[in-house]
Amino acid sequence: MHLAYPAVLAVLLFCVGLYGVLARRNTILVLMAVELMLNAVNLNLVAFDVWLRDALHSGEALTLFTIAIAAAEIGIGLAIVLAVYRNRGSSDIDRLRDTAETDDAESLPDGDADVDADSARGTNADQATAPAGKAKKAEAAA
């Protein structure tokens, strides 16, 4: 058997998995696409092991480690997805961006000195940072 057949199949599997990671919005489907990419790597490892006729079968041994890592990754990934779904009610990847920490120090005054300085200038601290906050929300939405 030629090496080209499994190599082309592995490339196709990896490309389908890469498309799934980049285009999907559902977290479970993204995890499935990552598994598809790992299986493409496993196929390459076994194909090159057979093609090189390695006496130690190191390609097959690395494949076993990759399968173990993939199983652990899916277990932990599903646990995280379930925890997020319980807290948020959705596992949509776009909504997970809302969990990022924002810099609250910009919109809240730190003490009386800041409030007094703002009132002396005739502005409010919240009004001064409102355009910056709207710009950040617009960037997050885009």
38-47, 61-70, 116-125, range with the lowest pLDDT: 116-125
pTM of the model: 0.64
Query: Which pLDDT band, with edges at 50, 70 and 90, does 126 fall under?
Result: very low
How many angstroms separate the CA atoms of 34 and 19, rounded? 10
Tell me: pLDDT of 58 over 70: yes
